[in-house]
Amino acid sequence: MSSQRWLVLVGFIAVTFVAAGIGGAATSSSVNTWYPTLVKPSWNPPSWVFGPVWSSLYLLMAVAAWRVWRHAENPGRRNALGWYFAQLALNALWSFLFFGLRNPGLAFAEVILLWATIVVVLVKFARIDRPAAVLWVPYLAWVTFASVLNGTVWWLNR
């Protein structure tokens, strides 16, 4: 593999983890103060689960996007990657809405949009590179769970 391909992979990982860091900065303002005061369902995961899960998902997301990037001959590549970066922005925005603004209702509305965007990315990735789409499935599954959790937290605390 050429050094350029490796550099692009590192770039995708870096950009993806920058988005994670932006979301993490918003989360840190409330995760140990406001969030523990909320009523949560019995199936809410323990706090220590979120870091490893999200780190793994961000890595899978970046590798999936990189795999799509490698298909320079595919006319849908640019559009698929545009959707990738849009969902990355929505992913970071969710943390600002939920933890930064402490607004689970607004975050729930936004996570529905994020979920739909993730589905669009999955479909677009599948048309270009099946393994990239497979790498994307755990992210869709987790955001599906997180969306239900967000909606439940909002409902229990309204």
User: Where residue 74 sits, what CATH number does that domain have?
Assistant: 1.20.1260.100
Name which of 68, 54, 38, 85 is nearest 130 in CA terms: 68
What pTM did the predictor assign? 0.95
| H or E stretch covering 94 | helix 77-95
| Gyration radius of the chain's alpha carbons | 16
5-56 pLDDT, tens digit each: 999 999 999 999 999 999 999 999 899 999 999 999 999 999 999 999 999 9
What residues have CB less than 8 Å from 107, skipping those under 6 apart?
A: 94, 97, 98, 101, 150, 154
Answer whether 100's CB lies under 8 Å from 39's CB: no
What is the number of structural domains in the chain? 1
Answer whether 129's CB lies under 8 Å from 146's CB: no
Structural domain boundaries, residue 35: 3-156
Output DSSP code: residue 99: I
pLDDT in the model for residue 117: 98
